[in-house]
Amino acid sequence: MEEALVAGTSKRVADYMAKPSKFADKAFEWVTFVMAMTVVVLIILVGWQLSSGASGSVRKFGFGFLTSTEWDPVNEQYGALPFIFGTLVSSFLALFIAVPLSIATAIYLTELAPGWIRQPIISLVEMLAAIPSVILGLWGIFVMVPWLLKYPFAWLKNPHHLGWCPLFRGPTYGVSMFAGGAIIAVMILPIITSVSREILISVPNLQREAAYALGATRWEVTRIAVLSYARRGLFGAVILGLGRALGETMAVTMVIGNRPVISASLLSPGYTLASVIANEFAEATTDTYLQALFEIGLVLFAVTIVVNLIARLLLMRFSGESLGRSVQ
Amino acid sequence: MFAMLASHTAPAPEKQETSNTMKTIPRLLSLSVCLVAAGFGPAAFAQLSITGAGASFPYPIYSKWFNEYAKVDPSVRFNYQSIGSGGGQKQILAETVDFGASDGPMSDENLAKAPGKLLHIPTVAGAVVVTYNLPGDLALKLDGKTVADIFLGKISNWNDPAIAKLNPGVTLPDMDIAVVHRSDGSGTSYIFTDYLSKVDEDWAKEVGKNTAVKWPVGLGAKGNEGVSGQVKQTPGAIGYVELIYALQNKLSFAGLKNADGEFVKASPEGVTAALTGAVIPDDFRFSMVDAPGKDAYPISGATWLLVYQKQKDAAKGKKLVEFLKWAMGDGETMAKDLDYAPLPDSLRERVLKRISEIEY
C-alpha cells in the first residue's frame, strides 16, 4: 500500500520535472564519493604522519618499544608497555562501571519510566556529555578523588573486605588507575546511554506484545523480547563508548597519578598513552624524545584499530547467532 | 602549526586591529579599509609583525612587555605563542618564527642544527620552591641532600633523623612522605632536577636533569595547580612549584640551605642574588642552581629568548634589536611586579653588549 502510494507520487512529480539528467546524478555520486574518500584519506594521512614522525624511534628501539617498561627521557630510553597497560586497564575499568549504569538507564527510560520523568532524565544525561573534560578533571581532583579515598578505598582496603585481593593492595593516594577509570566512566556514560536508548526504542512493539501474550512478566519481556533482540546494537553502543574511553586525555591525566608502572593494584597510580603525549610533547626537545612520543601516538592509533577490529569480529559472531534479527 | 601561530595576537590598540584585518580580507575590500585606516594615521601602514614562540613560564611578563612596548613603538606588533620550550626551540630552528623562547639553554646537539649562529638572550629568572603539607604550621628547613633523598625515596618518613637534624626544636610527625612531581614536561622540573643533580651525586647518576625525568617515587600531577592541589589534599605530601605560583596562592614552602650554608626562603631578591653569584659563560647558556652568595636562593633558573645573530629581514631585525634593548632597560623594571627576578646590572650590561652585535 505504502509502496504504491510512493510510486504514484513519484510518477506525478516526474511529470513536472525536466528530463532526467545524467550529469546531475553523476555529479551527485561523485560529490558524495569525494566526501566519503576524504574520511579515508584523513585516516591514512594521520597514520602516515605518525609513522614518519616515529620512524627514527621505530628504527632505534624496534619491537622492544612495545615490551619495555622503561621511560627515561634523560637517558633516552623509551618503552610503551606501562602506557598500553594503563590505557587498556583504565578503559575496560570504565566500561565495567559505565555499561551496567548506561544500559540500565536506557532500559528504565524506554521500558519503565513514566512520561513526566523521562524527558528530564534524557536532557540531564545529554548535558553530562557537554561538560568539558578539563572541568570534569578538576571535579575529579577536588571532589571525586578525596571522596573515593575516604569511603570506597578505605572500605576496599580493609582486610576483612577485599584487602586480601591483590587488586586493592598497596599504599593509596587517591589518584589511581581506579580514579582514572571512574572519570572515564562518567565521560562515556552519556554516549552509551543515548545510543542504547535509540536502539531499545527501535525494538518493534510486536516483540513486546508477543511476549506479554505468552504471559511473560515485565522483566521477562525486557530480557527475552527486548534485550536479546537488541543485543547486537547494544554491543555497538558499548564499542562506541570504548572508542571514546581509549582516547580520553585531559580528565584522565588529572586523576590517574601519571606514573608509568605496571601494578596489579587498581588503587595505585598509572599512566595512559594519550596522557603521556599531552604531558610531555610541548617540552620535548631532543629528536629521539619527540620520535618516541610520535611512536606512542602510533601505538595508540594501532591499539584503537585493533580493539575495534576485535569488537567487529565479536559483533559478527553475535549476528551469526541471532540470524540477522539485529537492529543496528 | 601556522594556523596556530597566526590565531593569537597580543592585545593591541585599535588601529593595529585595522591593519591586521587588511591582510585577511579579500583584495576588493582592502581599498575601503585603507581609507578607514588612513584616518588613524600613517603609522598603521608601516606596521611590522614580529612573531615568537616558546616557553610558557615567562609568558605573563612577555605579554606585559609586548603590550607596554606597543605604546613605545606603535609601528611594530609582537605575537607570542606560549607553546612550550621544546616547541620554541623547534620553531626557531625551522625559522618559522622571528624569535624563540626557552626555559632551558639549548643543547649542543640542537644548536648544531641551527642554520645560523643562534644567540641566547637571558631575560628574567624565577625560583622553584619546595612546598609541603604537614599538620600544624611547621616552618621547615631543608638542604639539597635531604630533598634529593626524599625525591629518591631514601627518606620516606617525616621523622627521619636527617630532617630532624636540620630542624632542631621542631616536633616532626611520624608520617609517610608522599612525593608529588610535575607530570607534564616543564621548565620548573628542569630547574628542580638541575638543582638536585648538582647537589647530589646519586641523583645525577640515577635520574639526571631534564624537563621530564624518570621519577624514582611519587605521583605526577599536571601543572603547578595540579601539584599544589595534590599536596594540599594529601597529608604528608611534598612537591615543588614555581615561586610565583606559591606566592600568589600563599603556599607554605621550605627554607633551603644555599651554597654558603645559609638557610634562605625563596624571593625574587634571592634569585637576583643567585644570578649575581653564578658563573655565566660568554654564550649565556648557564645554570644558576646552588649559586654562591649569602642571600642566593639555590633552586632558581633563567629563561631565554633565542635570536639569530644575522637577521634575514633588515626591518624586522632592527625592530627586534630595539625591543630587546628596551626590554633590558625599562622592561626589567616591570619584572618585580609580576614576581619575576630581574637580571643584575652586571649581567644586563653584558647582555646589552651582545644584543648590539646582532646584524641586520
Is the CB of residue B230 less than 8 Å away from at least one CB of chain A?
yes
DSSP B155: -
Residue with cell 605496571: A262
Query: Is the Cβ–Cβ distance between B216 and B100 less than 8 Å?
Result: no
Lowest-pLDDT choice from A11-20, A47-56, B23-32, B243-252: B23-32
Q: Which residues of B touch A175 (CB under 8 A)?
A: 219, 221, 230
Cell numbers of A276, please? 603521556
**Type of residue found at B196:** L
CB contact under 8 A, B184 and A145: no
SS3 B358: coil
The interface pTM score, or ipTM, of the predicted complex is 0.79
Is the CB of residue B236 less than 8 Å away from at least one CB of chain A?
no
DSSP A19: P
Ranges of H-type helices in chain A: 2-16, 22-61, 64-67, 81-107, 115-129, 133-139, 145-150, 152-157, 177-201, 205-213, 218-220, 228-247, 250-256, 273-280, 287-321
SS3 B189: helix
Q: What are the distances in angstroms from CA B132 to CA A3, B104, B135, B174?
A: 76, 26, 10, 15
Residue B255 belongs to what H/E stretch?
Answer: strand B255-257
pTM over 0.80: yes
Q: What are the distances in angstroms from CA A316 to CA A13, A132, A202, A312, B234?
A: 42, 35, 20, 6, 48
Our CA-based measurement puts residue B328 at a distance from the nearest CA of chain A, in whole angstroms, of: 26
Query: Is the Cβ–Cβ distance between B178 and B236 less than 8 Å?
Result: yes
Question: What is the CB neighbour count within 10 angstroms for residue A33?
Answer: 10
DSSP sequence for A184-231:
HHHHHHHHHHHHHHHHHHTS-HHHHHHHHHTT--HHHIIIIIIIHHHH
A45-327, CATH topology level:
MetI-like fold (1.10.3720)
Number of inter-chain CB pairs under 8 A, A vs B: 103
Residue in A closest to B91 by C-alpha: A285
CB contact under 8 A, A258 and B211: no
Whole-number Å distance between alpha carbons of B102 and B84: 7
CB contact under 8 A, A258 and B229: no
Question: What is the CB neighbour count within 10 angstroms for residue A322?
Answer: 15
CB contact under 8 A, B86 and A283: yes
pLDDT in tens, A199-226: 999 999 999 999 999 999 999 999 989 9
Identify which of A174, A258, A281 has the shortest CB distance to residue B183: A258
One pLDDT digit (tens) per residue for chain B, 360 residues = 333 333 344 444 444 444 444 444 444 444 444 444 444 444 445 688 999 999 988 999 999 999 999 999 999 999 999 888 888 999 999 999 999 999 889 989 899 999 999 999 999 999 999 999 998 878 899 999 999 999 999 999 999 999 999 999 899 999 999 999 999 988 899 999 999 999 999 999 999 999 899 999 999 998 888 899 889 888 899 999 999 888 888 888 999 999 999 999 999 999 999 999 999 999 999 999 999 999 999 999 999 999 999 999 999 999 999 999 999 999 999 999 888 999 999 999 999 999 999 998
The phi, psi pair for A42, rounded to 5°, reads -60, -45
Strands B178-182 and B237-242: parallel
Residue in B closest to A134 by C-alpha: B222
Strands B263-264 and B178-182: unpaired
Question: What is the CB neighbour count within 10 angstroms for residue B41?
Answer: 10
- Domain spans of chain A? 45-327
Our CA-based measurement puts residue B185 at a distance from the nearest CA of chain A, in whole angstroms, of: 5
